[in-house]
Structure 1
Amino acid sequence: MLCTTCRTRPAASADGLCTRCAALYPSPEDRPVSVTPGPTQETWHRLRSPVGLGRAVVVLLGIVIATDLIAVGAGLIVRNAYTSTMFADRVYVTNDAQAYANVLYGAAGALQSLVMLATAVLFILWFQRVRLNAEVFDADEQRMKPGWAIGAWFVPIGNLWLPRRIAAGIWAASGFTHTDGSRRPVSQAPLNLWWTAWVINLVLVRYATRRYEQADAPQEIVDAAGLAVASDVLDIVAAVLAILFVRRLTAMQGERAALGPYPHAEPAATGAVPS
């Protein structure tokens, strides 16, 4: 009987491997188990459930989507109002439709800002909670101190990538692990898609806002309003992806907490993060 791996030398082991392949490819029972140092019972009590904050963030993100839809409608009304006053000589004509469109658009923008502020505050609180939990799960995966879970969002320019770096560490530490301490890789697609959409939308919103503030002629206002509508649509996409990200990461932390401190022979009896 030939070796089941190289198919050239006679088998010399019960697994059907030759002497050389048996040395190169030991059976699972003979392989040393690498266990990454993990949390202990002494640190486990630091965990706090992110479920409540996560649900609140999801609700507010839903409201963000609703306000974005209102803003899209207001932006289209602005475009229609100013398009109707564009003549061959580009004479600017003020009328009631434009005044109504401007008031409506301003109100929609104010509502968006209010809801976005409330959502940002709650999201950052949730983000800090999952970051602190990640410190318990696997401190080695965290490349920045816990305080940066809040501070990174307020660093000019740096807020385009620092929170993503922190989120990657949280995601890795919260990945579902086996009871022997080994890790099963979890796709970062929800994180990457959300962050990409959020950064692109952030840049587009700032550009569209600047264009709208500088617009004077009807054509300029129409073009700027079109950009604003596009940014609102992209914000809806980013909000949907943020909901998926928040829900997935919150669930991952619950799954990780259910295992308890590892190495652990059997999963913990409870499936919830300690409160």
Structure 2
Amino acid sequence: MLCAQCRQSAVTPGGTLCQNCAGARAQPVQSSQPVQPVQPVQPVQFVQPGAYGGTPLDAPHGPAWLRSPVGLGKAAAVAVAVASATDLLGIWSAWLTYDIADRLAGDGIGAVPMTEIDRADMILTVAGVVQTAAFVVAIALFLAWFQRARVNAEVFDPFGHRMKRAWTCWSWFVPVVNLWFPRRIMADVWEASAPVGRASHALVNGWWTCWILALIADRVGSTTYRRAETPEEIRDAVGQAMFADAAHLGAGVLAVLVILRLTRMQDEKARGGALAVAV
């Protein structure tokens, strides 16, 4: 019986191939390419969604990454609370001046000793310096916290912000737009940070209403006081300043609540991994 492959030689006993064909089939085929060693599969590293830090998200407003707002939030809340407490000092010092101006308006010059007038004027000046210093520190820490909260909110919702990131701080200092841009930015940050279905803006609206009222009252009171000459005019101007301080106090209290609430919402959302963004 001939070999089934070459059809020339006889097959080996019990087989279908000749001895030559059977030997050639038994040899391994030599490849011209060297065999590449199999690379072990590396395990995929899992990063918990919402964890602080990590790779920045390429958001529409620039790279954004989560950073804890807790430390800055506490510092800003304390600074705003201290600034609000100085408003109480301002109200008290203004009341002293108001009382003196009222007595002078009713009883005439000489009804109040000069020492009492000088003392009230000194207290009013010192209170103004203390209020200004506390306000500068408070606004610096508040803006640092607000900037961080805005970037965190971009991670939670990259497309839910109507204003550019640069407006987060600059909107407070640009005339006219500072009457509504900061509130709009805060509302967007609040919306992105709040749990689903619980983004009520009542607290934000109350805070912003008091803040605008305080700004207007402060501007009117300052202008009126600079122009005041008679005891009656001084009394009325100081009364307006007292109202402005009271409005600042209310805005400060609500600002502390906004800071604490928003900080807690962002911290809980980041640690819980409830990111509303597809990466």
Out of 202, 207, 214, the position equivalent to 1:194 is 207
Look up the match of 2:73.
Answer: 54
Determine which structure has more spread, i.e. the larger CA radius of gyration: 2
| Structure 1, unpaired ranges of 5+ | 1-37, 177-182, 265-275
Q: Is 1:104 equivalent to 2:123 in the alignment? A: yes
Letter in 1 for 2:89: I
Task: Give TM-score scaled by structure 1 length.
Answer: 0.74
Out of 102, 108, 111, the position equivalent to 1:83 is 102
- Over the matched positions of the two proteins, sequence identity in percent amounts to 37
Cα displacement (A) at 1:262: 4.5
Q: Distance in 1 between matches of 2:109 and 2:100?
A: 14
Look up the match of 2:229.
Answer: 216
Task: Give TM-score scaled by structure 2 length.
Answer: 0.73
Q: Distance in 2 between matches of 1:159 and 1:142?
A: 17
| Structure 2, unpaired ranges of 5+ | 1-48, 58-63
Q: Give yes or no for contact 2:50–2:271 (8 Å, CA) kept in 1.
A: no
Q: Is 1:203 equivalent to 2:222 in the alignment? A: no
Look up the match of 2:136.
Answer: 117
Letter in 2 for 1:55: K
- Render the CA deviation track for 1:198-235: whole Å, top value 9, x for unaligned: 01111111111111111110011111111111111111
- Render the CA deviation track for 1:162-211: whole Å, top value 9, x for unaligned: 011111110111012xxxxxx32321111111011101111111111111
Q: Distance in 1 between matches of 2:246 and 2:252?
A: 10
Q: Which has the higher strand share?
A: 2
Q: Is 1:143 equivalent to 2:162 in the alignment? A: yes
Q: Distance in 1 between matches of 2:224 and 2:70?
A: 40
Out of 244, 254, 258, the position equivalent to 1:231 is 244
Q: Cα distance 1:257–1:243, how it changes in 2: closer, same or farther (>3 A)? A: same
Matched residue pairs, number?
Answer: 220
Q: Is 1:185 equivalent to 2:204 in the alignment? A: no
Q: Give yes or no for contact 1:71–1:109 (8 Å, CA) kept in 2.
A: yes
Q: Cα distance 1:175–1:219, how it changes in 2: closer, same or farther (>3 A)? A: same
Q: Give yes or no for contact 2:163–2:185 (8 Å, CA) kept in 1.
A: yes
Q: Is 1:159 equivalent to 2:178 in the alignment? A: yes
